[in-house]
Amino acid sequence: MSLDYYLWDTLKWNIDRRIVRKTSESIIDASRLFVEWIGANDHPIINASRNISWKPSSYIWRLIGFHHVELATVYVDPRSLSIETALHELAHILDNRLGTHPLASIFGGGPSDDMLRFVGIDPDQFFPRFSAIGYEQSLTRAGCELNPTKYGRSKGPAEDFAEAFRLAVLEPATLEEQAPKRSEWFKKWKI
């Protein structure tokens, strides 16, 4: 069974033809690692991951250096994308689709909120969820563990979740050692 079959049959993702081969390979590798991490094809998290489109971002977004997500589409710099970033962006899609609000990564209501509550802080005080001023200080003041990555601990719950997700998939030992609460939450989440 080829990787392409795996990708399209299980996840039904679509990769825009303008995205170069190396970038496509990162997306394909990310999909394989993600499905293996879940460990089952018929799973609510897999179901929420189907029919994602990967498209090139516009020039202005590339200039700023951002990949970003809009509902079921991930806009990436078509020239380069790491497996880490592909998984990070996938986490935003999951946050939006598994939550009570289709824009959970902005307004909350997604699994990122659940993760935050498990870590020991109320996510509703942070808005917008992807960039809330004073996020790291609030967690520190509340005595909560912080995300191991600088981006994950300084922006807001949505970025915290996306960074913790990519670590859970790619570097579970790092996450378990440096953020055991988040590690535990992800283990329970994918049961």
Q: Which residues bind Zn ion (CB under 5 A)?
A: 159, 162
**Please, what is the minimum distance in Å from the beta carbon of residue 92 to Zn ion?**
6
- Of the two residues 43 and 62, which places its CB atom closer to Zn ion in the complex? 62
* Own/partner pairs, 7-14, CB within 8 angstroms, 24+ separation: 7/31, 7/32, 10/35, 10/41, 10/46, 11/35, 11/46, 11/49, 11/50, 11/51, 11/52, 12/50, 12/51, 13/50, 13/51, 13/52, 13/53, 13/54, 14/51, 14/52, 14/53, 14/54
Residue nearest Zn ion, Cβ-based: 162
Closest separation between CB of residue 164 and Zn ion, Å?
12
Question: Smallest distance from the beta carbon of 62 to Zn ion, in angstroms?
Answer: 16
Query: Residue 98 or residue 162: which is nearer to Zn ion going by CB?
Result: 162
> Can you tell me the distance from the alpha carbon of 150 to that of 88, in angstroms, rounded to the nearest whole number?
14
When the beta carbons of 19 and 162 are compared against Zn ion, the nearer one is 162
Nearer to Zn ion, 128 or 172 (CB): 128
Smallest distance, Zn ion to C-beta of residue 185, A: 18
